[in-house]
Structure 1
Amino acid sequence: MTAIHPSPQSPKGLPDLLLPLRRLINNFTIRSYRVAHLICKVVPCACPFERDVTLFGRTFHIPALCKLNPLYNEVVLLRFRALSYLTDICEEDVAQYLC
């Protein structure tokens, strides 16, 4: 008899449809300083602030972008792993990537 594992659930009790992407990001191994630098340049060190933008006389409210990204925690951890790779393996100064 095989064990039946429940499918991963999101906090609201819905199936986590992003689980394969979460696993891909979490299992990504950084093996190149070029990839590590790219990740550090592309992923911001802090959540962009919410703001109001006025365009054509109308005001649009843009919430903090980290609240809109369901993979925010995974991406931030990927950036941290890239910084750790550059510091520990490549012995580079990462001060330029810190806020």
Structure 2
Amino acid sequence: MSSITSISPEVAPAHHNYLDKLLQPVREYLDAVEVNNPKMAHWLCQLIPAQCPFERDVKLFGHLLVHIPPMCKLNPLYDQFIGLRFRALTFLADVCGEDITSYC
């Protein structure tokens, strides 16, 4: 008897698998980036936000025009960017001995 809650790869939409295959080299590249330059580390910490931006409702005269979901749900590379930011913060704190509280 098969479980109803299990999801097999055959059930997943084909376009989702295609997107994953297309983005896999980019994910691997971002995961392999080593942060070893203080200037680059500061730039990454400023560029990549510390938290997922909040969702917003755009209204005009009290009527909802559009709902913008949290950006992390839209970005398929969000986990890689957060990992890169974490590596930059770790480099600044551990190797450079800098105070990173301004980036948190």
The question of a shared fold, defined as TM-score above 0.5 by the shorter chain, is answered with yes
1:53 aligns with 2:58: yes
Unaligned runs of 5+ in 1: 1-8
**Aligned runs of 1:4-19 on 2, under 5 Å?**
12=12, 14-15=17-18, 16-19=21-24
Q: TM-score with structure 1 length normalisation?
A: 0.81
Overall identity of the aligned pairs, in % = 44
Structure 1 partner of 2:103: 97
1:32 aligns with 2:37: yes
Q: TM-score with structure 2 length normalisation?
A: 0.77
State how far apart, in whole Å, the 2-side matches of 1:55 and 1:33 are: 44
State how far apart, in whole Å, the 2-side matches of 1:18 and 1:93 are: 34
User: Which of 60, 64, 71 is residue 70 of structure 2 equivalent to?
Assistant: 64
State how far apart, in whole Å, the 1-side matches of 2:67 and 2:42 are: 32
Query: How many pairs were matched up?
Result: 88
State how far apart, in whole Å, the 2-side matches of 1:43 and 1:55 are: 30
State how far apart, in whole Å, the 1-side matches of 2:41 and 2:94 are: 12
State how far apart, in whole Å, the 2-side matches of 1:42 and 1:95 are: 16
Unaligned runs of 5+ in 2: 1-8
Structure 2 partner of 1:83: 89
Which has the larger Rg? 2
RMSD of aligned alpha carbons: 1.8
The structure 1 segments of at least 4 consecutive aligned residues displaced by more than 4 Å after TM superposition are 55-58
Per the TM alignment, residue 52 of structure 1 is displaced from its structure 2 partner at its CA by 0.3
Structure 2 partner of 1:20: 25
